[in-house]
Amino acid sequence: MDRIHRFAREKLKIHSDKMEQRLDTTSTETAFKPGDAVWLYAPKRTKGKSPKLQNNWEGLYTIIKKINDLVYRIQLSPRSKPKVVHLERLAKYTGHNPPDWFVVEDPPPRTEYSVIRDE
């Protein structure tokens, strides 16, 4: 019984490694910065229409904040409610007229006193 269990574990490990390698080769590492224009993948099912013919992308959203490596806060307009979405639901906007309402603020210059306060 132990031998069969070890054999099954080895096979699972081999297949898991193959799946991880395949995912790593097909995934694209995209990083957005605040102010970038993006599309949001948000499929909606409308009754009576084929899903193939429906538009699955919403936008044009602006990246407000990078929460961590995979999660971003986006906003459609200055008055709309921000959304928190995963990186896989975002696509970079490559058009000519990105939204210009979001202004990326430069951090204040550091002084010797601000270094002490930050610690």
Where residue 36 sits, what CATH number does that domain have? Answer: 2.30.30.140
Residues 91/57, Cβ–Cβ less than 8 Å: yes
Confidence of residue 112 (pLDDT cuts 50, 70, 90): low
Domain count, the chain: 1
Sign of CA dihedral 67, 61, 34, 94: positive
35-59 in b/e form (b: 16+ CB < 10 A) is: ebbbbbeeeeeeeeeeeeeeeeeeb
Is the distance from CB of 74 to CB of 4 less than 8 angstroms? no
The per-residue pLDDT for 115 is 54
The amino acid present at 101, given as its one-letter code, is W
Residue 119 has pLDDT above 50, yes or no: no
Does a structural domain hold residue 109? no
Q: Which pLDDT tens digit goes with each residue over 29-56?
A: 678 999 999 999 999 888 888 888 888 9
Q: pTM above the 0.75 mark?
A: no
Judge whether 81 lies within some domain: yes
Residue 110 lies in a domain: no
Residue 119 inside a domain? The answer is no
Secondary structure E strands in the chain: 37-41, 57-66, 71-75, 83-86, 90-92
**In terms of residue numbers, what domain contains 49?**
2-92
Q: Distance from CA of residue 17 to its chain's centroid?
A: 24
Query: What integer pLDDT is reported at residue 99 of this predicted model?
Result: 79
